[in-house]
Amino acid sequence: MSRPIVGIIGNSHLLNGEYPAHAGGTMTSHAVADVAGAMPLLIPADPRLVSVAELMASCDGFVLTGGRPNVHPAEYGEDETDAHGAFDRARDAVTLPLVRACVEAGMPFLGICRGFQEVNVAMGGTLHPEIRDLPGRMNHRMPPDGTLEEKFALRHMVKLTQGGVFHQLFGAQEVLTNTLHGQGIKTAGARVVIDGHAPDGTPEAIYIAGAPGFSLSVQWHPEWNAAADPVSRALFAAFGQAVADWAAGRAGQARRWA
């Protein structure tokens, strides 16, 4: 029996600092294959190569991955500054309309880190260019030194809305997560429900109100240790079930997530 196909949004990359490539983290592919039970398919996020219509016709769901480049502030009506960092306008041009199309159609998607931010911007929200510069906020960025295990270590709690979507999914109102991001939600987009916060008030978990399909996104990186971490496993397993239901034509009968 063939597995459903999950498109993993790739990032632009330079091999050896000079050879252009499309890249995706192997841990995300393992999370999709081993926990979600789907076939991972790396997507070159460039509108010159793929269209939203083609992607939706070819895949049963999408993972909007993290990435070093940020969503360009022009996408939410602000000017570019040094604090906004690097950009990937080609990825913006693919993912933002893809999110809106998935919301409308009910196709499952899971946003992670930059993907979380893309979902908010796609729905009309805005972003802070640098969370750690805000009064009272902690530094959410990846530690600059140490092993991968140390960089992806669980670092803070996320408090979820009592009785909300994520509380029901995880079976707990507080979960421990890693944190490896610089930007974050400033204003929530239309229908974006902030369902979890870090201790400093930074939004960490969202979904789209009224979306007919799975539309959950998180600011942390659940792909790390996804098979062993209970929070990550629950998230990818639920996403995988939604993808399987879509592939089997059961989307209308599947669990409502919003």
Q: Of 210, 203, 193, which is closest to residue 257 (Cα–Cα)?
A: 210
221 is an active site residue: yes
Q: Is 102 a catalytic residue?
A: no
Give me 94's structure tokens. Answer: 């693919």
Backbone phi, psi, residue 59, to 5°:
-120, 165
d(CA 101, CA 98): 5
Number of Cβ atoms within 10 Å of the Cβ of 145: 7
DSSP single-letter state for residue 70: B
Among the listed residues 59, 113, 128, 140, the single catalytic one is 113
Tokens read off for 123? 């729905």
Strand pairing category for 192-197 and 203-208: antiparallel
* Catalytic annotation present for 113: yes
Residue 78, by phi and psi: left (phi above 0), alpha (psi -120 to 50) or beta?
beta
Where are the alpha helices (H) located in 202-255, listed in sequence order? Answer: 230-247
> How far, in Å, are 44, 51, 96, 180 from residue 90 at the CA level?
10, 12, 10, 23
The tokens for 10 are 């790739």
Residue 91 structure tokens: 């990825």
The Cα–Cα gap between 21 and 97 comes to 23
State the catalytic residues.
Answer: 113, 221, 223
